[in-house]
Amino acid sequence: MKKQSLALVTMMALSGSVFAGEASVTPFVAGEAATAAGVNAAFDALVTAINDNNTRIAALEAAGASASVSGAQYQATVLGSLNRGDSTNLYITVGNYLQTYTMTFNEDATCSFTGQQEEGEVGLNGSVSSSSDPVSFDCTYAQTASNLTVTIPGDGDIAFTVSSDGSLLVGNNFVVESEGGSTSRSEANIFIGVRLAE
């Protein structure tokens, strides 16, 4: 029984030393009595290997759980509706749009969006118009935990929520505002971004 226990300890110590890459273990020899120094050395090597692996695991978990978008790219999709009304001319339009972007968040807190917008609009008289346009702009961003704010010069801020591991970000918006004269619009959208593999 004692030999089996010592063999198990030795095997565990040797296994740990392989992962740790630092510990050196002198194996016990069959038929020879184990010395206290040898047993202590085996346990010391085992403890060293366990501590080393714990440190590595903690570092991997910390890196994997980061919500930071810094240095990352995301593939994003925006789905939205856009309605306009003219109270003087009694005219309305109902539209929707799809935007796809590659979002790049640089480590210096600058960012960029590059992509495409597809839009369709139906008028009161039944006419349908559509457009397809490239979209590209630069921005800055600030992040606190899961709260991400992207600032687009001239267009204000967009608020996002980032998942705990940084793999997903979501946002939404709703606005009703005047477009000048008797024309006003209402717009609602949802924004989803998925982090790209590095």
pLDDT tens, position by position, 104-152: 999 999 999 999 999 999 988 888 999 999 999 999 999 999 999 999 9
Burial pattern 154-190, b for ≥16 Cβ within 10 A else e, equals eeeebebebeeebebbebeeeeeeeeeeeeeeebebe
Q: Token pair 């910390």 is at which residue?
A: 62
- Give the pLDDT band of residue 7 (cuts 50, 70, 90): very low
The contacts of residue 104 (CB under 8 Å, 6+ apart) are 73, 111, 112, 114
Highest mean pLDDT among 21-35, 47-61, 67-81: 67-81
Query: Would you kindly state where each structural domain of the chain is located, as residue ranges?
Result: 2-64, 73-195
Does the pLDDT at position 3 exceed 70?
Answer: no
Compute and round to an integer the Cα radius of gyration of the chain: 30
Average pLDDT over residues 31-47: 78
pLDDT digit string, tens, across residues 42-55: 778 888 888 888 88
Does the pTM surpass 0.85? The reply is no
Average pLDDT over residues 9-28: 52
Helices (H), 23-176: 36-64
Q: Give percent above pLDDT 90 in the chain.
A: 52
CB of 116 closer than 8 Å to CB of 133: yes
| pLDDT recorded at residue 2 | 46
- Give the pLDDT band of residue 9 (cuts 50, 70, 90): very low
- Rounded CA-CA distance 166/48 in Å is 33
Does the pLDDT at position 164 exceed 50?
Answer: yes
Does the pLDDT at position 37 exceed 80?
Answer: no
- Rounded CA-CA distance 174/99 in Å is 16
- Rounded CA-CA distance 34/8 in Å is 13
Does the pLDDT at position 1 exceed 60?
Answer: no
pLDDT digit string, tens, across residues 173-186: 999 988 888 889 89
